[in-house]
């Protein structure tokens, strides 16, 4: 049973700011604060049983009667919500997907999954199924605050697997689904092979080390470090290490030994799949297998050039935002008679 919200806090200003395509080079009335001109941020909390879950929201100040489409961003295995989607990298350009999409007119939400960021620390290893349950609890808050029962969901890396499973389990709540840096079966994936090799170690502990060196390795492990500004890793580490140097093992273990976790034939929503051309977590063959078997014909597959696994932090993140924005704002298809 979900009981929400259990608390509220004011955001501190300045706290952080059927197609295949190959792209070319809280409590009602929760307190809010402006963190950038015309963008309003709010924090909410909800319960999943005894677990407290943190939600964060950004949007343009709405005019009376204005409807803003709702999009929910789902973080991955190693980095919590706000460093993932609302990162500030001084002097290096815009890295906040939340600010970008709020500027496009979306009502943008994200959350810290159990054992990440500001959410509760428990004995769980926070696997993919646990993350889908987090999204179910969060969706009730979003529906209450926005008046919308459906939202678009964008997940990255293991967050894409969480998002896909949630869409499979709760099709009535998902409008459009975006799977960024997704892994289906993991066939042929170098990174999934590395995780499978340490599966026993992952089983032995519900947490793993996620220190500064590990964060830096995210941007070099696929052999294309020049796809990223290395200041990004330092900015992420500065934010993430406030929460400690350990994160759950559950999503890593699931990706090592339990794939596939999402059945494309059971995903009813329109789907956009986006991958970097150097992503070591998957192959084109693996992802196109998923894409081909999707239930909905409203689907797109996009490859970002000069980009590895972490799409939202890449030099080419503007291509990600372009593809996602166009997909989310696409007109509905007209059904055949």
Average pLDDT over residues 208-231: 97
With 80 as the cut, is the pLDDT of residue 10 above it? no
Q: Of 29-33, 56-60, 180-184, 232-236, which range is least confident? A: 29-33
Question: pLDDT exceeding 90 applies to what percent of the chain?
Answer: 85
Residue 106 lies in a domain: yes
> pLDDT band at 24, cuts 50/70/90?
low
DSSP 225: G
User: What domain range is 198 assigned to?
Assistant: 19-328
Domain count within the chain: 1
Residue 228 lies in a domain: yes
Average pLDDT over residues 308-316: 98
Average pLDDT over residues 192-221: 98
> pLDDT band at 4, cuts 50/70/90?
very low
Q: What is the pLDDT of residue 21?
A: 57
Residue 336 lies in a domain: no
Residue 307 lies in a domain: yes
Question: pLDDT exceeding 70 applies to what percent of the chain?
Answer: 89
Q: What is the pLDDT of residue 22?
A: 55
Q: Would you say the C-alpha torsion 68, 330, 101, 9 has a positive or negative sign?
A: positive
Pairing relationship of beta strands 32-36 and 39-48 according to DSSP bridges? antiparallel
Residue 144 lies in a domain: yes
Tokens of 184: 């289906």
With 60 as the cut, is the pLDDT of residue 12 above it? no
Q: What is the pLDDT of residue 62?
A: 78
With 90 as the cut, is the pLDDT of residue 134 above it? yes
Greater confidence (27 vs 328) lies with 328
Average pLDDT over residues 238-264: 98
Sheet holding 174-180, edge to edge: 19-22, 299-304, 271-276, 174-180, 151-156, 70-74, 107-112, 51-60, 39-48, 32-36
Residue 310 lies in a domain: yes
For the chain, what is the total number of helices (H) and then of strands (E)? 11, 14
Average pLDDT over residues 193-220: 98
Q: For residue range 268-295, list pLDDT tens digits in order.
A: 999 999 999 999 999 999 999 999 999 9
3-state secondary structure (DSSP) of residue 174 = strand
With 80 as the cut, is the pLDDT of residue 35 above it? no
Distances (CA, A) of 253 to 92, 257, 287: 34, 6, 20
CATH number at residue 305: 3.40.50.1820
| Average pLDDT for the chain | 91
With 90 as the cut, is the pLDDT of residue 192 above it? yes
Q: What is the pLDDT of residue 32?
A: 53
Pairing relationship of beta strands 87-88 and 94-95 according to DSSP bridges? antiparallel
With 90 as the cut, is the pLDDT of residue 58 above it? yes
β-partners of residue 71 are 108, 152
Residue 138 lies in a domain: yes
With 50 as the cut, is the pLDDT of residue 2 above it? no
Residue 321 lies in a domain: yes
CA 5 to chain centre: 22
């Amino acid at each position: 049973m979900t009981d929400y919200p259990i608390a509220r806090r004011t955001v501190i200003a300045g706290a952080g700011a059927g197609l295949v395509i190959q792209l070319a080079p809280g409590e009602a009335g929760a307190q809010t604060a402006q963190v950038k001109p015309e963008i309003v941020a709010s924090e909410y909390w909800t319960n999943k049983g005894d677990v407290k879950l943190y939600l964060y929201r950004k949007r343009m100040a709405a005019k009376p009667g204005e409807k803003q489409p709702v999009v929910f961003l789902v973080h991955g295995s190693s980095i919590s919500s706000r460093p993932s989607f609302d990162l500030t990298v001084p002097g290096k350009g815009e890295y906040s997907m939340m600010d970008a999409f709020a500027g496009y007119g979306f009502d943008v939400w994200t959350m810290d999954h159990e054992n990440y960021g500001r959410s509760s620390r428990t004995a769980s290893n926070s696997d993919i199924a646990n993350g889908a349950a987090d999204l179910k609890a969060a969706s009730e808050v979003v529906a209450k605050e926005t008046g919308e029962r459906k939202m678009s969901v964008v997940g990255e890396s293991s967050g894409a697997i969480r998002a896909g499973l949630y869409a499979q389990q709760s099709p009535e709540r998902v409008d459009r689904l975006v799977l960024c840096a997704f892994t289906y079966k993991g066939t042929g994936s170098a990174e999934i092979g590395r995780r499978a090799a340490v599966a026993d170690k992952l089983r032995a502990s519900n947490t793993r080390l996620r220190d500064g060196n590990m964060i830096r390795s995210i941007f070099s492990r696929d052999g294309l470090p020049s796809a990223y500004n290395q200041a990004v890793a330092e900015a992420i580490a500065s934010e993430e290490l406030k929460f400690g140097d350990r994160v759950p093992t559950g999503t890593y273990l699931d990706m090592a030994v339990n794939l596939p976790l999402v059945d494309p034939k059971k995903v009813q929503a329109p789907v956009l799949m986006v991958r970097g051309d150097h992503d070591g977590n998957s192959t084109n063959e693996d992802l196109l297998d998923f894409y081909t078997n999707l239930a909905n014909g409203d689907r797109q597959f996009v490859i970002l050039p000069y980009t590895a696994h972490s799409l939202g932090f890449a030099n080419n993140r503007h291509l990600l935002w372009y593809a996602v924005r166009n997909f989310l704002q696409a007109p509905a298809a007209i059904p055949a008679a």
